[in-house]
Structure 1
Amino acid sequence: MVDPISTSAARPRISRPGEDAGLPVQGSAVSGAPPAAIPTAGDSVTLSPTAAALPDELKSGPPVDLEIVAKIKEAIAEGKYPIDLEAITESLFENYLELVS
């Protein structure tokens, strides 16, 4: 027989792999710490010499074949894009195993 779910008791917090379940999460309401800082207009980014020396074709971002992207979008919209659910499931499971080990 299944025990009924009690709504009066607080739910226990489930810890993530590698996380100390005894300590509150930083920035949470439990710890009382302020949330992480929000970027402001005064923030800036400086590129390293390696990043600044990228070839011109990579400075505008990763190379993307817009024609192929359009074909994939069209196939998805028409319901003709092949989806291998077994491969997706296997990949998700492998990633899960990496997280928990």
Structure 2
Amino acid sequence: MNNSTEILFSIGQSMYGFTMLIILTATIILFIKKRTPATWMILIGYLLVCISYLTSLIIITIAGRSSMDTMLQIQGISSIVKSLSYLIFAIGLIMLAITEFSKKEFRP
């Protein structure tokens, strides 16, 4: 990789990390304000997203010294773990939307 490619990847990773931090902060605030099964799932799901992202960065960096097959296998497993984490987050978000925003308000 040349310097311009490394800079692009660094900028992308930094932006993604900053975005993750903002969403994590929002999920924590949501959980503190309203503790329901939905917000539990949102918080747990997004914590797993953050953990799996950081873990995959570390493992892929270490595995970069190994063969390409090992690297691809690790990326595949990492992708599955991140997808499952996002699935938990998304289910919690759907649960929150259904329970909080589908209530009919009574106005006399």
TM-score range, shorter chain: under 0.3
More helix by share: 2
Instruction: Please report the TM-score for the alignment, with normalisation by the length of structure 1.
Output: 0.23
Higher relative contact order (CA 8 A, sep 6+): 2
Instruction: Please report the TM-score for the alignment, with normalisation by the length of structure 2.
Output: 0.22
Larger radius of gyration: 1
